[in-house]
Amino acid sequence: MTKKEVRRHVLSKLCAISKERRYCVEQFFSEQLQCLPQWKEAQTVGITLSMFPEWETRGIIQLAIEQGKRIALPKVLTKEKMIFVYYALEDSVKKSVFGVEEPLGDDEVEHIDLLIVPGVAFNDKGYRLGFGGGYYDRYLASFKGNTVSFVSKEQCVDFPIEKHDIPVQQLIIENVGEYRV
């Protein structure tokens, strides 16, 4: 299958997950994340404000803030550039041209300790297939912090890897737990 076909196939499977199972999987991801030393040590966490059918992130954002961590959300500046901007729960966001909620500020966060990387599909080497814009691959090319992604069984797929693809360091896989790649 091509990347486009894999993306379409996995997204349709994610959309079909029941509300009950989705809740259980998201709880599992949150519990596993909190066990990671990278989470415990992180002062700044990069994460997206998820949108369906992505795994819900608002609970993790709330948890991070309660634990005294700072949150950084992605913001697309140009067709080629994405930065991360600090976010607090009371901050306003706006929908981007992609429909993603982004912070209003433009001050780039200099250092992120842990980046929770979204994706549509993942292979066993940690390579991810995103939504097709290449923003995370470009960002990860120079990112020096820790990376982790949440992966359900529907998202574990083999797909063609390209030269510009950057793997995630750790996967939290449904019913498996942490998987270091």
pLDDT one-digit tens code per residue, 30-69:
999 999 999 999 999 999 988 899 899 999 999 999 999 9
pLDDT of residue 96: 77
Mean of pLDDT values over 111-129: 95
**Is the C-alpha dihedral spanning 69, 91, 60, 179 positive or negative?**
negative
107-116 pLDDT, tens digit each:
889 999 999 9
pLDDT of residue 88: 79
Mean of pLDDT values over 166-181: 77
**Is the C-alpha dihedral spanning 98, 174, 115, 34 positive or negative?**
positive
Q: Which domain holds residue 26?
A: 3-180
| 128-129 and 121-122 beta bridge pairing | antiparallel
As for how many domains the chain has, the answer is: 1
pLDDT of residue 181: 47
CATH of residue 103:
3.40.50.10420
* CB-CB neighbours of 7 under 10 Å: 20
Average pLDDT over the chain, rounded to whole?
A: 89
74-107 pLDDT, tens digit each:
998 888 889 999 987 766 777 777 778 888 888 8
